[in-house]
Amino acid sequence: MTPILEVRDLSVEFHTRDGVARAVDRVGLRLEPGEVLAVLGESGSGKSVTAQAIMGVLHTPPARVTGGEILYQGRDLLRMSEPQRRRVRGREIGMIFQDALSALDPVFSVGFQLSEALRHGSGMSRSAARARTAELMDLVRIPDARRRLRDYPHQLSGGMRQRVMIALALAQNPKVLIADEPTTALDVTVRAQIMDLLGDLRRSLGMAMILITHDLGVVAGVADRIVIMYAGRTVEQADVYQLYEAPGHPYTRGLLGSVPRLAARRGPLPAIEGAPPSPMRIPRGCAFHPRCPHATEVCRSTPPPRVPLGAGRYSDCHYAAQVAGGLI
């Protein structure tokens, strides 16, 4: 199957007063039509920067794409002019940003912001945009939608603001939706409602979706495949069932082990020791070796190979086969 979106060897740097931060280093992703691809990793692993590079909304400077390709239906987005990129952004690829309160303009009503996006993106008349705005608010299940059009972002709850962000992302019927931490700062009940809404919309509209999160519980019920990122790199990719059953990278195993379980005995929750490295000081060899319980001298000195573990599955670890087989 031809992917609808493919990222090849993408690298992004940030040039700051303190030096160069390698936020994304030769990242590769592949999204099939209608698929949900989850991208997991701790804060600072490069997930959001990758998404912003795909959308073409990185602040340059200080950000700079230093290599790679981003192919949407075979066209390299990085080689497009800004007017060409603008025609893809929103119409073909939509994005739900992390913080709805920051992403929405506080001085305009949510209805005005939605209708302006439609007028500028699709060339609708003012009356047609108003009618479509009400439809979108109904689509994302905002109660009493027509009255809510006059509300400002601060008058809505966190869950309602997130629904407005989803409506903005869907305004021009994109074929690909990037959801960047769509349930951040929401309580458990609202989080479940938002994920159910996204799942229903994806199926009804036939979209492919990239779900960026650090919540393994959210991913288990919605994703088809999972990509794990660490220190700006993709370190594992697998089918969701394969990854949960037999992770092939010690970092993935650590993430899964740190999820609270009702059946677990009382005691300290397992955790990955240490913290992710600074993007300005990525360790030699395997970037995860300072935190890895299985690290050896080869891990400290030599970058790990990409080890195939089956069809469409890999792990960037010197001992991937042993990790996946439960031998270490």
For every residue of 59-122, which 3-state class applies, written as one string?
A: CCCCEEEEEEEEEECCEEHHHCCHHHHHHHECCCEEEECCCHHHHCCCCCCHHHHHHHHHHHHH
| Whole-number pLDDT of residue 28 | 94
* Dist. CA 73–CA 78, nearest whole Å: 13
Domain that holds residue 103: 5-324
Which pLDDT does position 264 carry in this prediction? 66
Is cis: bond before 174, omega within 30 of 0? no
Buried b / exposed e along 177-195 (16+ C-beta atoms within 10 A):
bbbbbbbbebeeebbebbb
DSSP state of 181: S
pLDDT higher than 70, residue 61: yes
- C-alpha distances in Å from residue 28, one per residue of 42, 206, 301: 18, 24, 23
Residue 265 has pLDDT above 80, yes or no: no
Question: What's 11's domain CATH number?
Answer: 3.40.50.300
**Quick check: 194 pLDDT over 70?**
yes
- Give the residue from 162, 213, 230 showing the smallest Cα distance to 48: 213
Enter the pTM of the model. 0.91
pLDDT of residue 174: 92
Highest mean pLDDT pick, 32-41, 188-197, 200-209:
32-41
CA distances from 156 to 20, 150, 152 (A): 40, 11, 7
Three-state SS for 263? coil
Average pLDDT, integer, range 190-203:
86
Calculate the CA dihedral of residues 40, 41, 44, 45 and round it to 10 degrees: -80
pLDDT > 70 in the chain, percent: 98
Q: What is the predicted pLDDT for the residue at 121? A: 73
Q: Are 322 and 250 in contact (CB under 8 A)?
A: no
**What's the total number of domains in the chain?**
1
pLDDT of residue 293: 92
DSSP label at residue 265: P
Can you tell me the mean pLDDT for 136-156?
89
pLDDT tens-digit readout, 272-291: 999 999 999 999 999 999 99
The C-alpha atoms of residue 322 and residue 294 are separated, in whole angstroms, by 11
CA pair distance 251, 265, nearest whole angstrom: 23
Ramachandran angles phi, psi of 225, nearest 5° = -130, 160
